[in-house]
Amino acid sequence: MKIEKANESHLKEINEITNYSIINTNFNFNFEPKTLEETKKWYNEHIEKDFPIIVCILNDEVVGWASLSTFRDYRGYDKTVEVSLYVKNNYKRMGIGSLLLENIEKEAKAKKFHAVVSAITGGNDASINLHKKFGYEVKCVFEQIGYKNNTFLDVVFLYKIL
Express each pLDDT in 42-72 by its tens digit.
Answer: 999 999 999 999 999 999 999 999 999 999 9
| Total tally of structural domains belonging to the chain | 1
Express each pLDDT in 73-88 by its tens digit.
Answer: 999 999 999 999 999 9
**Which pLDDT score is estimated for 48?**
96
- Range(s) of the domain holding residue 105: 2-161
CA distance 118 to 136: 9
Single out the residue of 109, 160, 142 nearest to residue 29, CA to CA: 142
CATH at 87? 3.40.630.30
